[in-house]
Amino acid sequence: MTTGQETGRIVVGVDGSPSSKAALAWAVRQAERTGGTVEAVIAWRYPAVLAAPFGPAEVLPETDFADVAARVVSQAISETVDPSGPVKASSIVAEGNPAEVLLDAAQGADLLVVGSRGHGSLTEALLGSVSQHCVHHAQCPIVIVKAGR
């Protein structure tokens, strides 16, 4: 997208990692250039240990995972978006697979921005890559940002 071209809604994945913070910063700069808005999206899931086949574990019984996720995305926005600046940013906190949550949020968006941790092919083969999944399934243009770039 070129400078001056109007962009509407920019959806960006945020998880608190350096690459997601870089993606949020990139999205905010793009929104400044194009007059767009930013929706910072974070997905959360119950840890696998809580759904063990032997019954619920006693790990973090009082943790509100949605609240933790909301605080992570709120902090990322407060560190990146100038409240008196031209960019309006909102957040979405949803339970589910991160790639699917991002793709759902990006329906009808003008741009999807995600960070890439660059774990390497073995880790991505075992765990899956959110950014790669989004590249293959997004219905809008996508930008992948690496931290430090």
> The domain spanning residue 62 has which CATH number?
3.40.50.620
CB within 8 Å of 136: residues ≥ 6 apart = none
- Asked if the structure places residue 102 within a domain, the reply is yes
Residue 91 φ/ψ, nearest 5 degrees = -130, 155
For residue 28, pLDDT beyond 70: yes
Q: Are 99 and 128 in contact (CB under 8 A)?
A: yes
- Asked if the structure places residue 43 within a domain, the reply is yes
The total of structural domains in the chain comes to 1
For residue 120, pLDDT beyond 80: no
DSSP alpha helices (H): ranges in 81-143?
A: 98-105, 121-127, 130-137
Domain enclosing residue 132, as ranges: 9-146
For residue 131, pLDDT beyond 50: yes
pLDDT value for 127: 41
Q: What is the pTM of this model?
A: 0.81
Query: CA 53, CA 51: separation in Å to the nearest integer?
Result: 6
Residue 124 φ/ψ, nearest 5 degrees = -65, -35
- Asked if the structure places residue 116 within a domain, the reply is yes
pLDDT value for 48: 60
Reported in sequence order, the residue ranges of the chain that DSSP labels E, i.e. its strands, are 9-13, 37-44, 89-95, 111-116, 142-146
Nearest to 89 by CA among 149, 37, 53: 37
Mean pLDDT of 112-118: 84
| Lowest mean pLDDT segment, chosen from 28-37, 87-96, 122-131, 136-145 | 122-131
pLDDT value for 130: 85
Selection from 45-54, 56-65, 107-116, 122-131 with the highest mean pLDDT:
107-116
- Asked if the structure places residue 1 within a domain, the reply is no
Helices 65-80 and 18-34: angle between axes, nearest 10 degrees: 50
